[in-house]
Amino acid sequence: MIHPAALDAADPLAHFRERFALPEGTIYLDGNSLGALPKATPTAIAAVVEREWGEGLIGSWNDADWVRAPQRIGDKIAGLIGADEGEVVACDSTSVNIFKALAAALSLRSGRATLLSETGNFPTDLYMMHGLERLSGGATKARAVSPEDVLDAIDSDTAAVLLTHVHYKSGAMRDMAATTNAIQEKGALTIWDLSHSTGAVPLDLNGANADFAVGCGYKFLNGGPGAPAFIFVAKRHQAAALPALSGWFGHAAPFAFRDDYEAAPGIERFLAGTPSIVGLAGLECGIDLMREADIVAIRAKSLSLAALFEERMAQLAKAYGFERIGPDDPTKRGSHVSYRHPEAYAIVQALKVRGVVGDFRDPDVMRFGITPLYLSHADIARAVAILGEVMQSGAWDCADYKVRAAVT
């Protein structure tokens, strides 16, 4: 039996909790979908809006260094994902950055036309591949095979393999170095989607010799709703990888206003248009906070919280038929735990009403994000105890909890 109080007393990350503004009485187990609000963020955003924009006006592009915000913040993200300075920019959405990475990978593998991914991947990843297929009039081929067949499906036509490092539903985590190596041995490039990995698990893109990666700013990085995402392109590819979204902010000399396009020499070529400055300000607060914490300590606490969660769930699982999905070995999962139950949707709603915020993923998955910077072992024990009450009382079985909202 795990003792939450003893673990919390020895928790080296406990002090981070007070750096977040969370409503009283809420146990927030959805930080893998929308991270919590750092207390520093409202002040930082207000300063950008009131001072830099309101008073500095257009001069702030230079005076407040707005113009280099995507690179500055990209360099900070690089430190979290095992990349070097000059390999990451913070910009656009993850979806758009997936498109850019796919197109750039195709430009580096001109004799190859297939983009490969896995079925059951986060939908936008597959949709973006299909979009490129349509745009090319079918010259580019988008293909998805089952997760265990991906490596075998790579052939001499495969230009790039797009994989999510930590699966958004099951939490299954791929071995980045081994997978990258296997893909590259067959002549294809790797595109890693790090949406559920960045800020959650230690990452080493360059140690794995990764080619491209993208990731999300509003999940474990706590950048705020719709925060800019990021794109990583390994230095060795930057000069040859051609941006399909060849916007003026990726031009070698944007303020020369020339008619002809010339891609910027470095990672800047993967910028498209004017950066979202207010969004970047929120993202930077989340990243600065994340950079204060040691990712190895975050991972250790995540595994400890997850172990407690599983221990407490084991009793409920038997009584009420919850089935944990994903690998049994917790070190082969990211930082969320997921359970299948036929009434998952209603149960998640009943929990929310009682202050425990998790989420539901179609058709029957309850997903609980484990965010070590603002969750304690006591929170986890209490959340599972509340789930036990909801099940025992049958409180979940209420018509109101079965009506699906627009965002689940």
Ligand X SMILES: *Cc1c(COP(=O)(O)O)cnc(C)c1O
The residues that are catalytic are 122, 193, 218-219, 367
Q: Is the dihedral of CA 311, 297, 74, 164 positive or negative?
A: negative
**28, 61, 66, 122: which one binds ligand X (CB under 6 A):** 122
Judge contact between 290 and 80, C-beta under 8 A: yes
Q: Specify the stretch interacting with ligand X by CB under 6 A; choose among 51-59, 92-100, 128-136, 169-177.
A: 92-100
Q: Specify the stretch interacting with ligand X by CB under 6 A; choose among 78-86, 90-98, 154-162, 203-211.
A: 90-98
- Nearest approach, Cβ of residue 360 and ligand X (Å): 15
User: Which CB, 195 or 276, lies closer to ligand X?
Assistant: 195
User: Which CB, 100 or 112, lies closer to ligand X?
Assistant: 100
Distance separating alpha carbons of residues 309 and 327, to the nearest angstrom: 15
User: Which CB, 216 or 281, lies closer to ligand X?
Assistant: 216
Six token digits for residue 161: 């393999």
Residues 178-237 that bind ligand X (CB under 6 A): 193, 195-196, 216, 229
Beta-carbon contacts of residue 263 (< 8 Å; ≥ 6 apart): 242, 243, 246, 250, 251, 252, 269
Binding of residue 100 to ligand X (CB under 6 A): no
Beta-carbon contacts of residue 134 (< 8 Å; ≥ 6 apart): none
User: Which CB, 168 or 320, lies closer to ligand X?
Assistant: 168
Six token digits for residue 129: 């591949």
**71, 95, 117, 276: which one binds ligand X (CB under 6 A):** 95
Alpha helices in 67-153 (DSSP H): 69-81, 94-108, 123-135, 150-153
- Nearest approach, Cβ of residue 215 and ligand X (Å): 8
CA-closest candidate to residue 339, choices 169, 154, 141: 169
Binding residues with ligand X: total (CB under 6 A):
13
Omega before residue 363 within 30° of 0, cis: yes
- Nearest approach, Cβ of residue 369 and ligand X (Å): 11
Binding-site ranges for ligand X (CB under 6 A): 93-95, 122, 124-125, 164, 168, 193, 195-196, 216, 229
